[in-house]
Amino acid sequence: MASPVAVKDLYDSYINPGMAKLHHLMGLSAGELRGEGSLVYDEDGRRYIDCVSGYGSLPFGHRPGPVLEAVRRQMDRMALSSKVMPGRPVGELAEALAGWTPGDLQYSFFCNSGAEAVEGALKLARAVTGRPGFVAAEGGFHGKTFGALSVSGRQRYRAPFHPLLPGVTLVPFGDVEALKRAVSQETAAVILEPIQGEGGVHPAPRGYLTAAREICDRAGALLILDEVQTGLGRTGMPFAAERDGVVPDVMCLAKALGGGVMPIGCFIARPEAARAFWEDPLIHTSTFGGNPLAAAAGLATLDWLQREDLPGAAAETGRWLKGEFEEMAKRYPGWIREVRGEGLLLGVEFVDEARGGLVMSGLVEKGVLTAFTLNEYRVVRVEPSLTIDRGLLIQVLEAWDAVLGYWCGQLDPGELEATGWEPDRQVLGPDSENGGESRETARNAGKEGDGNAGGSGEGVVRRALA
């Protein structure tokens, strides 16, 4: 029998050659085959410790038994909804969320992803207020559909798609005065992340969310908190809004809500905001949103998170892990600039992207999966499952130390160029408002013909760490 086509060739020919290059550059050309808890095995039988967790969507790691079991039970009864009858699993999930989220957040709308949750929340804010405008934060990330992208703060992702939603003002994150100046009688909502995850793991300064709440109340605008990444225990508390004791008008959730088994998103609103969709309940709908399988996964997830106090466990493990990374930062000051974050949403900021990239691909070689944050490539996230055991985290720390120790001893800054590890410049292109230069650079990188990722990054790292 002919051997199957290599997965990297399938990506190269049928998905996106740029993505194939990125995988190659990271040394990740073999396909992922199997996941078990915090471990992933590839088609060549290599084992990796997963410190990305599907960008935070695997609170219990891969294939968590209780969630799988709940989904299997539901599958045996009914998988997808008729859409015309009410469904018990989704009703009970909404009830459970109302019980756990802060304050009087009560009415949920279910969809399938974080971006869709944000879309719905933005629409709700316009319907409630009759106003057009939104204020959002530079560096913020809310997804890549048009509305969500319009309130996201990275030019690289915005530039090729103008015109975006009109009436959006971006302000520096954490600057109360700038927020005050931007919010007006035209503002439908302010949308913020309590901790900017993809922006490079930046917690909001203490008091910022409280100030945002007051500014919104004075202006009659809604406060939307996007907890798609920070919610459901990731930051060491059930919801990161609780850092400031703030109750938003609308909260967006997704990722962890599916327990690492089903895709699901939702926004949950206070009654005063939610009522805007009551008169015509079909004004905002989703065919797959709130389907019985995803709802069953959500219910099992909330039950597990609360029963075993996993937010508390994430706080404790995260405190220890952050301390370890801070110690490491002291050992490699020419490489690591800062360690930030709370709970198990940690970010290690490198002095530049090249160093971060080298360390990431070195970690792959050592069997540890990491990824940079989408809006800030200098920051490598440390985002394992909330249930990861310390033994594995010690192996992760040892791998980081070995890779950093190796490169620190080997490279002058000038030699970095020669490694070929310049993902931003060579594969993805630099940030620019018009996007032209970045597309040109990406095209040129794509022309290099032999499948080698615009340089010899993988080769260098493999040779060095073998």
Ligand X SMILES: Cc1ncc(COP(=O)(O)O)c(C=O)c1O
Q: Is 428 in the site for ligand X (CB under 6 A)?
A: no
Give 266 or 404: the residue with its C-beta nearer to ligand X: 266
Segment contacting ligand X by CB under 6 A, of 60-68, 112-120, 234-242, 390-398: 112-120
Least distance to ligand X, CB of residue 201, Å: 11
Closest contact distance (angstroms) between CB of 291 and ligand X is 16
Is residue 253 near ligand X by the rule CB under 6 A?
Answer: no
Q: Does 143 bind ligand X (CB under 6 A)?
A: yes
Q: Is 115 in the site for ligand X (CB under 6 A)?
A: yes
Q: How far is the CB of 226 from ligand X (least distance, A)?
A: 5
CB 444, min distance to ligand X, A: 29
Rounded CA separation 348/326 (Å): 9
Q: How far is the CB of 235 from ligand X (least distance, A)?
A: 12
Which one of residues 27, 61, 114, 236 is an interface residue with ligand X (CB under 6 A)? 114
Tell which one of 74, 108, 113, 129 touches ligand X (CB under 6 A): 113
Look-up: residue for tokens 């800054």? Answer: 413
Least distance in angstroms from the C-beta of 218 to ligand X: 26
Number of shown-chain residues binding ligand X (CB under 6 A):
15
Taking residues 433 to 462 in sequence order and writing x for each that binds ligand X by CB under 6 A, - otherwise, the string is ------------------------------
The 3-class secondary structure across the chain, one letter per residue, is: CCCCCCHHHHHHHHHCHHHHHHHHHHCCCCCEEEEEECEEEECCCCEEEECCHHHHCCCCCECCHHHHHHHHHHHHHCCCCCCCCCCHHHHHHHHHHHHHCCCCCCEEEEECCHHHHHHHHHHHHHHHHCCCEEEEECCCCCCCCHHHHHCCCCHHHHHHHCCCCCCEEEECCCCHHHHHHHCCCCEEEEEECCEECCCCCEECCCCHHHHHHHHHHHHCCEEEEECCCCCCCCCCCCCHHHHCCCCCCEEEECHHHHCCCCCCEEEEECHHHHHHHCCCCCCCCCCCCCCHHHHHHHHHHHHHHHHCCHHHHHHHHHHHHHHHHHHHHHHCCCCEEEEEEECCEEEEEECCHHHHHHHHHHHHHCCEECEEECCEEEEEEECCCCCCCHHHHHHHHHHHHHHHHHHHHHCCHHHHHHHCCCHHHHHHCCCCCCCHHHHHHHHHHHCCCCCCCCCCHHHHHHHHHC
* Binding-site member from 50, 119, 226, 424 for ligand X (CB under 6 A): 226
> Could you give the angle at the alpha carbon of 334 between the alpha carbons of 330 and 337, nearest 5°?
65
- Least gap, CB of 181 to ligand X (angstroms): 24
Q: Rounded to the nearest whole angstrom, what is the least distance from the CB of residue 114 to ligand X in the complex?
A: 2
Dihedrals phi, psi of 188, to nearest 5 degrees: -75, -45
The 156-195 contact track toward ligand X, x by CB under 6 A, reads -------------------------------------x--
Q: Closest approach of Cβ 206 to ligand X, in Å?
A: 20
Of 377, 128, 118, 313, the residue nearest 227 (C-alpha): 118
Using CB under 6 A as the criterion, what x/- string covers residues 79-98 for binding ligand X? --------------------
Sheet (strand 376-382) strand order: 336-342, 345-350, 376-382, 371-373
Asked whether 351 and 335 are in contact (CB, 8 A), the reply is yes
Segment interacting with ligand X, rule: CB under 6 A, options 135-143, 282-290, 361-369, 446-454: 135-143
Q: For ligand X, which residue of 48, 141, 325, 407 counts as binding (CB under 6 A)?
A: 141
Which window, 84-92, 109-117, 207-215, 306-314, contacts ligand X (CB under 6 A)? 109-117
Within a 10 A sphere around the Cβ of 331, how many other Cβ atoms?
A: 12
Residue nearest ligand X by beta-carbon distance: 114
Name the residue nearer to ligand X (CB basis): 141 or 325.
Answer: 141
Q: Is 254 in the site for ligand X (CB under 6 A)?
A: yes
Among 59, 120, 147, 197, binds ligand X (CB under 6 A): 197
Q: Rounded to the nearest whole angstrom, what is the least distance from the CB of residue 374 to ligand X in the complex? A: 7
Whose Cβ is closer to ligand X: residue 53's or residue 169's? 53
Instruction: Kindly tell me which of 135 and 354 has the beta carbon lying closer to ligand X.
Output: 135
Q: How far is the CB of 446 from ligand X (least distance, A)?
A: 25
* Out of 41, 55, 288, 406, the residue judged to bind ligand X by CB under 6 A: 55
Binding-site ranges for ligand X (CB under 6 A): 55, 113-115, 118, 141-143, 193, 197-198, 226, 228-229, 254
